Structure 1
Amino acid sequence: MRGKVGLLVCVWFLLWRPSAGRFKVEKNSLKITTPDSLKGVYGSAIGNFGVPQYGGSMVGTVIYPKTNQKACKSFEDFDVSFKTKPGGLPFFLLADRGDCFFTLKAWNAQNGGAAAILVLDDQAEPLITMDTPKEENAGADYIQKITIPSALITKNLGDCIKKALSSGEMVTVSLDWTEALPHPDERVEYEFWTNSNDECGPKCESQIEFVKKFKGAAQILEQKGYTQFTPHYITWYCPEAFILSKQCKSQCINHGRYCAPDPEQDFSKGYDGKDVVIQNLRQICFHKVANESGKPWLWWDYVTDFAIRCPMKAKKYTKECADQVIQSLGVDQKKIDECMGDPDADADNPVLKAEQDTQIGKGSRGDVTILPTLVINNGQYRGKLDKGAVLKAICAGFQETTEPAICLTSDMETNECLENNGGCWKDKSFNITACKDTFRGRVCECPVVEGVKLTGDGYTHCEALGAVPCGVNNGGCWKETRNGKTYSACLDDHTKGCTCPPGFTGDGVKSCEDVDECKEKKACQCPECKCENTWGSYDCSCSNGLLFLQEHDACIRQEYRSSPGWSFFWIIILGLGVAGLGGYSLYKYRIRVKPPHIPQTCACLLLHLRKSKLFSPEGTLINDPYAFF
């Protein structure tokens, strides 16, 4: 039995062994500001748990406890608290390495009130990454509750800090993550190295839970073009000497080229490693096919739905169940099958071969050896797999001033422009500011207003060159409001400068003075007119109850306003003329046999017109044209 167990462990170890490469330790900056003897910038390794403040920084004072110096026990047992008093800097706990898991040290420090934990290495060596424990009984539940950041520091630096503290000096430290991840441009490219296995205990459960919670944010970022996401899956090869063994045949496809550990860690029951490899391959191909159709974000739906509908525990971790999920999302199933190829072929699978090549680090990025792993802008994320923490890290990957709105919400960062305008220039009159909030802080940059880019240092001044729209400080022109009326010397097109509006005179920039139209006799010139000057205009009125017509600058009787117009009179005259001409024609051509006869109506009307003396002998209108009605 021992021989079989030993062989099982050895083969399992070989299956998990990746290609030779290197693991990169991701670091942040640790800056000591006091005392002077330690002042400087040092490197520290980011722990693979907790929540590093990507894009930001923290300042605190270091404290080294007199008891429980390895932080392996609860500080409540020693009646010790590191909670900050109002107005004081937060405490960073310095703990020695050894005797317990890194995660337990961080958990005890957090419960004790510390804002961060610095773990002092116990030997002189290059910095390493503090990882979560691999053991099943390592208490993974509390690991997911760790929210403070952690950092490993070298033995030499830790000893120097201890010495300064023992001498009664205060050690002030700034942990800075602003440059922990690259942020070259306005788009973030990130990878998620994951696994479809759901029987690996708490780690698999937390991974699936993360995908469910992060799906919404990931899809929004992808759909709007802010990010480019690519899923990846780790596989291992089986050593050639064991290709024909029962273990390799059950855990690998393509004759030992691509393998995964047994999900239950028991070769005699449940699903095999090759089942995991095939489902991983299906998820990769799903993303490829969805990406070709212009909807790569559907990957998040597929992985989430598959985890819910096709779990291993329910014995539904099958191709049939996967195909049902694929069909429900409207993705071409045949293309996915073609992408996957033949798992029994004694040949390389192009998709999985590319995955193995990508797993090996190139350039500044190290190998991917930990599952799950996020790679953001070619830098590996370290910390808790949590929606808020990961989103914060992605936001740190944007170039300043290009972050999407989701990165600038109150639960993601603080708006430094709200206090004293961030120390930037501001036009208080028109509420124009050069302060621009970013995820990593603020920048003082002269703004663009109504299409015009203001120029200046952004701190003391911003101004426009040449003529600018009236919306920008009113174009630099005069503007005043009195009694509810506003006049401005700025026109929509004022390329020739500022011009005082009608009713004003002046340079149009500093001032425009009211013109007294009454005094200068520019209005109300008729004999009956009365003129009263107003600001920017004038009012005219008439004496003797007359009505002022501004367009004619004249006074008229108000009753004329209610009488019909002259056009109506001429229409009547024209009608009479037409009627007379028609009567004459009728007489001459149609009824010559009868004596001349004028219709009674027309005759009476003409007689009335003559008697009314409407016209003078010269043809001038002398009476009210409407008197005969």
Structure 2
Amino acid sequence: MPSFLLFPDCFFALKVWNAQQAGAAAVLVADDVEEALITMDTPEEDTISAKYIENITIPSALIEKSFGETLKKSFKKGEMVNVNLDWREAVPHPDDRVEYELWTTSNDECGVKCEMLMGFMKEFKGAAQILEKGGYTQFTPHYITWYCPQAFTVSKQCKSQCINHGRYCAPDPEQDFSRGYDGKDVVVENLRQLCVFKVANETRKPWVWWDYVTDFQIRCPMKDKKYNKDCADGVIKSLGLDLKKIEKCMGDPEADDDNPVLKEEQEAQIGKGSRGDVTILPTLVVNNHQYRGKLEKGAVLKAICSGFEETTEPGVCLSDEIETNECLDNNGGCWQDKASNVSACKDTFRGRVCECPLVNGVQFRGDGYSLCKRLLIISLDPESLKFERVVITSLGTDGLFKQAFSFLSANGPGKCKINNGGCWHETRHGQTFTSCVDHDDTCKCPPGFKGDGVNSCEDIDECKERTACQCSDCNCKNTWGSYECTCNGDLLYIKDHDTCISKAAAQAKSTWAAVWLSLLGLAMIASGGYLFYKYRIRQYMDSEIRAIMAQYMPLDSQTEVPNHSSDDRA
């Protein structure tokens, strides 16, 4: 049975600390007025909370006054009350991407809060970049600014703490106007960090913002007197960002005019929908709801992961650091076929779900708890396709005889027509590649791809791996499954030799080739004419010689001519 501890005149953090010291497992702080919930924090806590705030280990939450009164009445009646403090049910999850924003500051000399914020930024950077690079989240940094009343814009305090003639201000870092850095220095660096994000986002690398802010904290701290433009420019250059674009984005801090970037920030501070106004630093907003937990990597990651629809959360949300795999214990109570190691249990951030799986392109059907089955019906010409193995698997735990036919190893002309032969295939931009070959028992990635051919084939970047288009004048562009190679200037790419040559030289080469071919043709014609002429002359001379010789002696081809003597003539 919970007990109530009343601490009406102390700060929120001290209330929780005192309750923890008294043995409480959790703390619910009921508001004393009916209003929208706020974050349990106040600026005045810094000096007195430094000793105990880091040692608070129990969960705590602020609840509305009406809900607190309802709980008190239930306790007085002796009713059983079950309160579950769980971010997984508190954050809305409308789609498969989480939008979150962090309201922060570049000031590193504001005491415990700044130290806590700087530590969180360094610790959370890795997880934030993984989520952003994978397209799982859309992160936006924000910075709170105040404005100086019109009547005081010419005062010494406003001039030292504000830019753009009192429009955008920040508190003095040391709370001392006579020494150290001024509030306007903080505003300028906040503006620079906003512009770093905008420029990085334009290059589709918004996660570079995390690199900048953490590197700036390390290389340009106020305590070392390096909190200035020169140090910031060095960090920007080291990250390969366009310094001129960032400076253009920042504008002129001395101008008597609105700064578009900071004006947008001031407008964003006003509460919209269920988010509420942003009034303190730091403030984290997840899916347009203010996060009210501890600013620590594990806790914040849980809040962000709770913003995903169930079964759509990325792997980082299921890491051992923040989550346990409920499918490891008795398969989560879901259906399982141990023989084939197929299970309906799917681990999610909110727990496990029992859903019949999709295995090798075959969808199992059933309730996921006691039964999952598959039925594959195929009509084939037995001569065009042969199956080497047929497995009959008994499925289901309800006592009924369930069967499914799984044709595991097929080859022949029709192999690739059935579920692509169990091999990888993918279509992009109207172009399809497959690793299936009808007359081959294995799956082989096609040219231009690499992988096992079964689960995946990844595009080979011929340009990066230096397997093509590597001549000095070549410009290589990788495409899916191939590459495109062009040459600088008036050059022509010769793919067979992987080189660039002058188009004029190629044309001259073609011209000389045509000349040589013409000469060769004329030579052949001349040779043929000569041989024909020689043959005809010889034939004519042979006939003449034979005619002359025939007058004096018979030839083999002639009959003997009788010789008439003078006696005969008498």
Q: TM-score range by the shorter chain?
A: 0.5 to 0.7
The one-letter code of the counterpart of 2:58 is I
Aligned ranges for residues 534-545 of structure 1 at < 5 Å? none
Equivalence for 2:409: 492
Q: CA deviation at 1:182?
A: 1.7
Q: 1:455 aligns with which of 324, 348, 365?
A: 365
What code does the residue aligned with 1:308 have? I
Trace 1:472-511 onto structure 2 (pairs within 5 A). Answer: 476=392, 490-493=407-410
Following the alignment from structure 1 to structure 2, what is the Cα–Cα distance between the partners of residues 171 and 477?
Answer: 48
The letter for the 1-side match of 2:409 is D
How far residue 418 of structure 1 moved from its aligned partner, in angstroms, is 2.5
* Aligned-pair CA distance for 1:157: 5.3
Corresponding letter in the other structure for 2:41: T
Tell me, in whole angstroms, the C-alpha distance in 1 between the residues paired with 2:266 and 2:406. Answer: 70
User: In 2, distance between residues paired with 1:282 and 1:414?
Assistant: 41
What is the letter of the counterpart of residue 177 of structure 2?
A: F
> When the two structures are aligned, how many residues end up with a matched partner?
393
Tell me which residue corresponds to 2:43. Answer: 134
Are residue 287 (structure 1) and residue 197 (structure 2) matched? yes
Select the residue among 339, 345, 350 that pairs with 1:435: 345
The equivalent residue for 1:182 is 92
d(CA) in 1 for partners of 2:291 and 2:63?
A: 18
Q: Give the structure with the higher percent helix.
A: 2
- SS class of match (1:96): coil
Match of 2:126 in 1: 216
Q: Tell me how far 1:346 sits from its aligned partner.
A: 1.4
Cα distance between partner residues in 1 of 2:258 and 2:67: 49
Deviation at 1:374, TM superposition (A): 1.0
Aligned match of 1:125: 34
Counterpart CA distance in 1 for 2:192 and 2:159 is 20
RMSD between superposed Cα atoms in Å: 2.8
Q: Percent identity?
A: 67
Alignment-derived partner of residue 63 in structure 1: 2
Consecutive unaligned residues in structure 1, runs of 5 or more: 1-61, 65-93, 479-487, 495-629
Name the amino acid aligned to 2:356: C
The question of 1:420 aligning with 2:330 is answered yes
Opposite residue 243 of structure 2, the aligned amino acid is Q
Aligned-residue offset at 1:452: 1.7
* Amino acid aligned to 1:63: P
CA gap 1:491/1:163 in 2 versus in 1, 3 angstroms = closer
Residue 362 and residue 125 in structure 1: after superposition, are their counterparts in 2 closer, same or farther (change >3 A)?
closer
- After superposition, the Cα gap between the structure-2 partners of 1:125 and 1:378, relative to the gap in structure 1 and judged at 3 Å, is closer
Query: Matched residue of 2:16: which SS?
Result: helix
TM-score relative to the length of structure 2: 0.64
- Partner residue, 2:289: 379
Report the alpha carbon displacement of residue 177 of structure 1 after superposing the two structures with TM.
3.3
TM-score by length of 1: 0.58
Measure, in 2, the Cα distance between the counterparts of 1:442 and 1:477.
26
Counterpart of 1:101 in structure 2 is 11
C-alpha distance after superposition, 1:346-370 (max 9, x if no partner) = 1111111111122222223212112
Are 2:235 and 1:325 equivalent residues in the alignment?
A: yes
SS in 2 for 1:422: helix
Written as runs of structure 1 = structure 2, the 5 A alignment for 1:137-148 is 137-148=47-58
Closer, same or farther: CA 386–134 of 1 in aligned 2, 3 Å: same
Whole-angstrom CA distance in 2 between matches of 1:322 and 1:155: 47
Q: Deviations over 1:80-119 (max 9, x none)?
A: xxxxxxxxxxxxxx43341322212212333444321123
Aligned AA (1:152): L
Name the amino acid aligned to 1:244. V
- Deviation per CA, 1:45-64, whole angstroms, max 9, x where unpaired? xxxxxxxxxxxxxxxxx421
Contact 1:193–1:371 under 8 Å retained in 2:
yes
How many angstroms does 1:379 deviate by?
A: 1.3
Change (3 A) 1:133 1:346: closer
Aligned AA (2:43): K
Give the Cα–Cα distance (whole angstroms) in 2 for the partners of residues 169 and 115 of structure 1.
19
Distance 2:70 2:213 in 1: 49
Alpha-carbon distance between aligned partners in 1 of 2:147 and 2:58, rounded to the nearest angstrom? 38
Alignment of 1:129-528 (within 5 A): 129=38, 131-135=40-44, 136-153=46-63, 158=68, 161-162=71-72, 165=75, 171-467=81-377, 476=392, 490-493=407-410
Report how far residue 221 of structure 1 moved.
1.6
Q: Is the CA contact (8 Å cut-off) linking 2:376 and 2:406 kept in structure 1?
A: no
The CA distance in 2 between the partners of 1:283 and 1:130, in whole Å, is 25
Unaligned runs of 5+ in 2: 379-385, 395-404, 412-570
1:271-300 deviation per Cα after TM superposition (whole angstroms, max 9, x unaligned): 111111110010111111122223221111
Give the counterpart letter for 1:134 in structure 2.
Answer: P
Q: Deviations over 1:122-160 (max 9, x none)?
A: x45346435234224222242133232212345565556
Q: Is the 8 A contact 2:392 2:406 kept in 1?
A: no
Deviation at 1:456, TM superposition (A): 2.2
Alignment match, 1:47: none
8 Å contact kept, 2:87–2:303? no
d(CA) in 2 for partners of 1:305, 1:490: 57
Change (3 A) 1:342 1:113: same
Q: What's the secondary structure of 1:352's corresponding residue?
A: helix
- TM-superposed CA distance for 1:447, in Å, is 0.7
Q: Please give the secondary structure, in 1, of the residue aligned with 2:205.
A: coil
Q: Which segment drifts farther, 318-327 or 161-170?
A: 161-170
- The 3-state SS of whatever aligns with 1:232 is strand
Listed one character per residue, the Cα deviations across residues 570-617 of structure 1 (whole Å, up to 9, x for unaligned) are: xxxxxxxxxxxxxxxxxxxxxxxxxxxxxxxxxxxxxxxxxxxxxxxx
Q: CA deviation at 1:166?
A: 5.8
SS of the residue corresponding to residue 175 of structure 1 reads coil
Distance 1:359 1:475, change over 3 A: farther
SS in structure 2 at match of 1:274: helix
> CA offsets, 1:206-257, max 9 Å, x none?
1111111111111122222222211111111222122222211111111111
For each residue in 1:369-426, what CA deviation from the matched residue of structure 2 results, as whole angstroms up to 9, or x when unmatched?
1211111111111111111111111111111111111111223122222233223222
Where relative contact order (Cα < 8 A, 6+ residues apart) is larger, the structure is 1
